[in-house]
Amino acid sequence: MSITAAGTDTGTEAVALTKRDFTSDQEVRWCPGCGDYAILAAVQAVIPEFERKPQDVVFVSGIGCSSRFPYYMNTYGFHTIHGRAPAIATGLAVSRPDLDVWVVTGDGDALSIGGNHLIHALRRNVDMTILMFNNQIYGLTKGQYSPTSEAGKVTKSTPFGSVDHPFNPVSVALGAEATFVARTLDVDRPHLTEVLRRAHAHRGTSFVEIYQNCNIFNDNAFLTITSKDTKEDYQIRLKHGEPIRFGPEGSRGVRMGSGGNCEIVSVDDVGVDALLVHDEYADSPGLAFALSRLAHGPSSPTPIGIFREVSRPTYGAGITEQIEQATVAKGEGDLEALLRSADTWTIA
């Protein structure tokens, strides 16, 4: 059996799928210059590598600019309701484990009204990939502050500056015991693509925060870590098994300071041996959490890459096992008879 570009099973030689096979005929309608275009292009380009037919892939979204995403993928898709995409995707992933399930959401959609759905999907380890576009603003509703906006942010809804303390999405995911947590950038195509590959390969919930520029309502929010003039000083690229270094010629690094907090140091002052060696496979999320707290926003040196990847049974596998055990113990049940029976039941 082989997969053709048309997505049918044949006995002939396989035809490799391409970006075109996963690109819909819908007009892409985001503001010119929006970071969402770069993310869409990266996903459409990398997804053929996963050797899944378009009809075996599903994109689920909530509400927001990012949530237009399913329209532009030539796959199945659900444009659901505000904040509920992880809940819809959970039902889909559990009932159809043969499908490749993706969730596309934004910082407002995922962390405001959708906060509870997000953290419970993460702790359950549902087999799906969550892409959270973080532009630190509400874009679709025209520029109100969001759960990731920095304190003091002046917007239409906070004319005197926000008094809220913002969420750190990576910290939230790690606190919920997510088994795969990463951060990447919309404008760094190689890094974004590699993170997408790793996230998709992980079994369980993969959470990827993508810094995404909203050039209309929050332009240049991530300029210090994306500009070619400053990114060397502000991007801390995490690489498993290597000392955490950044800056010109790796002149700066990260070490574990007092109280379990990470701190930035000069390598010349402390030496390479004093630096923290990144371990993305550590069973405890403590080290990854400490790294996530290193930056208090994208205007200071910020870790990007894979914070954590560990193995844990998935939610769907656990449910399937219970059903199989119940079937063996009790025999096949009659769901139709149960649904059409009386309003009370006797449990044997």
Domain range list for the chain: 2-221+313-324
pTM: 0.91
pLDDT, position 144: 93
pLDDT, position 2: 33
Residue 150: DSSP 8-state: P
Decide: 180 and 205 in contact? Cβ < 8 Å. yes
pLDDT, position 327: 75
Enter the tokens of residue 154: 């002046």
Nearest alpha-carbon partner for 70 in 28, 17, 109? 28
Task: Give the pLDDT confidence of 187-199 residue by residue, as tens digits.
Answer: 999 999 999 999 9
Q: Does residue 296 surpass a pLDDT of 60?
A: yes
* The CA-based dihedral angle spanning residues 37, 42, 43, 44, taken in that order and rounded to the nearest 10 degrees: 80
Enter the tokens of residue 120: 């419970």
Q: Is 52 left (phi over 0), alpha (psi -120 to 50) or beta?
A: beta
Which stretch of 21-25, 272-276, 294-298 has the lowest confidence by average pLDDT? 294-298
Q: Does residue 184 surpass a pLDDT of 60?
A: yes
Task: Give the pLDDT confidence of 73-87 residue by residue, as tens digits.
Answer: 999 999 999 999 999
> Which fold does the domain 2-221+313-324 belong to in CATH?
Rossmann fold (3.40.50)
Task: Give the pLDDT confidence of 123-148 residue by residue, as tens digits.
Answer: 999 999 999 999 999 999 999 999 99
pLDDT interval class at 3 (50, 70, 90): very low
pLDDT, position 7: 45
Extract the runs of DSSP E, i.e. beta strands, from the chain: 2-3, 9-10, 57-61, 76-79, 100-106, 128-134, 180-185, 205-211, 235-237, 245-246, 252-256, 262-266, 302-309
User: How far apart are alpha carbons 181 and 191 in whole angstroms?
Assistant: 15
pLDDT, position 298: 83
Residue 23: DSSP 8-state: B
Which residues are within 8 A (CB) of 64 and not within 5 positions of it... i.e. 6 or more apart? 105, 106, 108, 109, 138, 139, 140
pLDDT interval class at 13 (50, 70, 90): low
Task: Give the pLDDT confidence of 202-260 residue by residue, as tens digits.
Answer: 999 999 999 999 999 999 999 999 999 999 999 999 999 999 999 999 999 999 988 88
Amino acid at 276: L
Q: Does residue 63 surpass a pLDDT of 50?
A: yes
Nearest alpha-carbon partner for 231 in 239, 241, 242, 223? 223
User: How does the average pLDDT of the chain come out, rounded?
Assistant: 92
Q: Alpha-carbon Rg of the chain, whole angstroms?
A: 22
Half-sphere exposure of 155 (CA within 13 A, CB side): 25
